[in-house]
Amino acid sequence: MAESNYTESSIKSLSPREHIRLRPGMYIGKLGNGASADDGIYVLLKEIIDNCIDEHSSGHGKRIDVTINNGLVTVRDYGRGIPLGKVVDCVSKINTGAKYDSETFQKSVGLNGVGTKAVNALSSHFLAASHREGKMKEASFSEGELVKDGRQKNSSEKNGTFIEFIPDNNIFKGYKYQLEYVEAMLWNYAYLNTGLTLSLNEKTFKSENGLKDLLEHNLSGDILYPIIHLKGEDIEVAMTHGSGYGEEYFSFVNGQHTTMGGTHQTAFREAVVKTIREFFGKNYDPSDIRASIVSAVSVRVQEPVFESQTKTKLGSQNVAPKGPSIRNFVNNFVKKELDDHLHRNPSDAKAIQQKIIASEKERKELSGIRKLAREKAKKVNLHNKKLRDCRVHFNSKHKNAAESTLFIVEGDSAGGSITKTRDVNTQAVFSLKGKPLNAFGLSKKIVYQNDEFNCLQNALNIEDGLFDLRYNKVVIATDADVDGMHIRMLLLTFFLQFFPDLVRKGHLHILETPLFRVRNKKSTLYCYSETEKNKAMKKLGKAAEITRFKGLGEASPDEFATFIGKDIKLTPVTTQNLHNIKELLAFYMGKNTAERQTFIIDNLHVEKDLVEV
């Protein structure tokens, strides 16, 4: 092994700004282009709004205005405004801010003095302006470097802070804000801050009933009893049970949406089980109590500790440095308030007990079927035939799941191509045999009786929930033809019917593969639409050869490396704005109805009618 030239010159010292730009993932998570709700451009926006929320929570400002136009983002609050002499420091110097003063911001979400500075450093243009008591000051930056430090001058505007930024296109390549993700973010802020009005491009977001409104807005399907809404000092809870599978939680800390949960969500799940067991005097299984639960929990704590700068999971054990544990705090509140509610509302209690009994019955019925399914799969070695795993799982069942991807492909042809070119360390392949069963309206026992479904759920390790999910990304990779679209719909139906949490948590994606290859003797271009194809033909000339891809098996292994490498195009499957999944599946995957026939006829186009948009 050759010796490396490791000398004093090898040691580098970076400024905070340089470090943020070199390692942005440490500060804002993944970069992305805006296709996923957790992409970095949304974290940039959230970091700015969080400061406005902290002002509102401290009793200053009842409105926040946001605009997004061609990548330019503005955020205006009406709080106290940044002290004018500290505007530059507050938006550009790491570890600078008022959040270190616990008297000023008792229960703030931003405590490390990093967020706004990261936004500044990762923006090609950043401007901060503060208005205070008839005076104002503004400063502008580029990539975190000060461009102009304006002088203080008179202002006729209301007190508050104005931030304007453009994410750096060199870091967030080809990014675009999806307004539906921003709207979901603003709705969450509204639910958690009753009395606060937010706007996005003049569209208003306001809530009067907090987490109760949140559940009503996000419910999909029928519920078994009216939403239970409980409020206390520094804690708010809303819950009900639906008719589907899985558990659904919306959890928050100091107004921060903790999408990965944490100690507060764990405490709530435990508290619900304990309270219901004690209320009925029966030792019900926790999975039967929580089956189909839909709930939201919000807590406010002093000096919260999150497991990363993106603040998606709470790690704090106590509500304050010298206060009670979060576990006891949540449990005591739920024990008292939920128990009181069930005593006052016997019909709700009866509905919960009936749901528990039904879940218990189904679980026991499935127990025997599960055993037979495992024995059958083991006997014929189905899993090894269908799953080509990745190395992160060879030695440890769940090691590095966050880095791994499972491609679900149709048949051996596509499976062969993708297997030859995948990254064997992090990418696994699951091959389907023929078209899957239409799972709409079927009970969960079909998952174990059907070889394809049984092997797929075992490959993912989601039989008992997502807590031990083996792959962070589950990618449906079907052909770009009618059969491929049909298989895609059947798989979507399977996941939405039996494992909706996989979709809700953002794990399910669609692999976008080129529809065309346009090439001449010098260049090859892959095109994902008619528009891209036409541009490629103009670029490469009339003599260019055009190939229409209809199936993944038609692409060579070398070409496939382009489709699933660093420039992979994935479209996340989201339930955003789907308020009734059951109704949606019934329309598309249920029995043929007059309504669906009418829809098809009304939207039918023949080839001559198709016009490129």
**Tens-place pLDDT, residues 479-516:** 877 888 889 999 999 998 888 888 888 899 999 888 88
CA atoms within 13 A on the CB side of 439: 27
Residue 3 is assigned to a structural domain of this protein? no
Q: Answer yes or no: do 396 and 252 share one domain.
A: no
Q: Answer yes or no: do 312 and 446 share one domain.
A: no
Q: How far apart are CA 34 and CA 556, in angstroms?
A: 30
User: How many of the other CB atoms lie within 10 Å of CB of 370?
Assistant: 16
- H or E segment and range at residue 562: helix 557-563
CATH number at residue 391: 3.40.50.670
Given pLDDT bands bounded at 50, 70 and 90, which one contains residue 588?
confident
| Distance, first Cα to last Cα, the chain | 57
Q: Answer yes or no: do 345 and 283 share one domain.
A: yes
Describe the chain by its helix, strand, coil percentages, rounded to 5: 40, 20, 40
Residue 242 is assigned to a structural domain of this protein? yes
Across the range 262-270, mean pLDDT stands at 92
Q: Answer yes or no: do 138 and 218 share one domain.
A: no
pLDDT per residue over 402-433, tens digit each? 678 999 988 766 667 788 888 888 899 998 88
Residue 369 is assigned to a structural domain of this protein? no
Q: Answer yes or no: do 42 and 173 share one domain.
A: yes
Q: Answer yes or no: do 338 and 435 share one domain.
A: no
**Greater pLDDT, 368 or 192:** 192
Question: Across-strand partners of 236?
Answer: 231, 298
Q: Answer yes or no: do 312 and 397 share one domain.
A: no
Residue 492 is assigned to a structural domain of this protein? yes
Q: How far apart are CA 353 and CA 355, in angstroms?
A: 5
CATH number at residue 193: 3.30.565.10
Residue 366 is assigned to a structural domain of this protein? no
Phi, psi of 68 (to 5 degrees): -135, 120
Across the range 357-379, mean pLDDT stands at 80
Q: How far apart are CA 118 and CA 359, in angstroms?
A: 47
Determine the 3-state secondary structure of 587 from DSSP.
helix
Residue that finishes a domain, picked among 156, 183, 203: 203
User: What are the tokens at 295?
Assistant: 């709930």
Q: Answer yes or no: do 68 and 189 share one domain.
A: yes
Phi, psi of 248 (to 5 degrees): -125, 125
Residue 449 is assigned to a structural domain of this protein? yes
Residue 177 is assigned to a structural domain of this protein? yes
Instruction: List Cα–Cα distances, 356 to 102, 215, 271, 350, 351, in angstroms.
Output: 44, 21, 16, 10, 9
pLDDT per residue over 190-213, tens digit each? 999 988 999 999 899 999 999 999
Q: How far apart are CA 489 and CA 491, in angstroms?
A: 5
Residues contacting 237, CB < 8 A, separation 6+: 211, 228, 229, 230, 231, 268, 295, 296, 297, 298, 333, 334, 337, 338
| pLDDT score for 112 | 42
Given pLDDT bands bounded at 50, 70 and 90, which one contains residue 579?
low
Residue that finishes a domain, picked among 156, 180, 203: 203
| pLDDT score for 602 | 75
Q: Answer yes or no: do 220 and 334 share one domain.
A: yes
Domain count, the chain: 4
Q: Answer yes or no: do 245 and 323 share one domain.
A: yes
Q: Answer yes or no: do 184 and 45 share one domain.
A: yes
Residue 489 is assigned to a structural domain of this protein? yes
Task: Flag the least confident range among 44-53, 69-78, 281-290, 604-613.
Answer: 604-613
User: What are the tokens at 460?
Assistant: 């993912």
CA atoms within 13 A on the CB side of 491: 30
Angle at 461 between CA 239 and CA 503, to 5 degrees: 50
In this structure, which amino acid lies at residue 236? E
| pLDDT score for 113 | 47
Residue that finishes a domain, picked among 177, 203, 229: 203
Q: Dihedral through CA 486, CA 487, CA 488, CA 490, nearest 10?
A: 90
Q: Answer yes or no: do 447 and 521 share one domain.
A: no
Check: CB of residue 260 under 8 Å from CB of residue 312. yes
**pLDDT of residue 287 exceeding 80:** yes
* Structural domain of 230: 211-361
Given pLDDT bands bounded at 50, 70 and 90, which one contains residue 1?
very low
Q: For the chain, state the CA radius of gyration.
A: 27
